[in-house]
Amino acid sequence: MATQLCTLSQNPPQRSGARSRNLLQLSTFKGNLEDFMKKSKLLLASRAARDDIDAQNSSGDTALHLAIARLGTVFAIQPLLDAEASTNIKGRQGRTPLLYALYLEQEAVTTALLDKDSDPHALDNHGFSALHYAVASRTISIQFIQRLLDAGVDVNWKDEDGHTPLYLAAQKNKQEVMRLLLNHGADSELGNSRLNLRISQIQYAAKVGLKSLWPF
Neighbour tally for 20: CB within 10 Å: 14
Do 138 and 204 share a domain, yes or no?
A: yes
In this prediction, residue 9 carries a pLDDT of 39
- Point out the domain boundary residue: 98, 125, 152: 125
Residue 208: which pLDDT band, with cuts at 50, 70 and 90?
A: low
Q: The whole model's pTM is what?
A: 0.84
Q: What is the mean pLDDT of residues 139-152?
A: 98
- Give dist(CA 35, CA 196) in Å, integer: 51
CATH number at residue 119: 1.25.40.20
Beta bridge partners of 129: 123
Give the lowest-confidence range in 56-60, 148-152, 193-197: 193-197
Q: What is the domain range of residue 185?
A: 130-209
Q: Domain tally for the chain?
A: 2
Q: Is the confidence at residue 1, as pLDDT, over 50?
A: no
Nearest in space to 211 (alpha carbons), one of 175, 160, 181, 171: 175
Domain assignment of residue 4, yes or no = no
Q: What is the mean pLDDT of residues 62-75?
A: 98
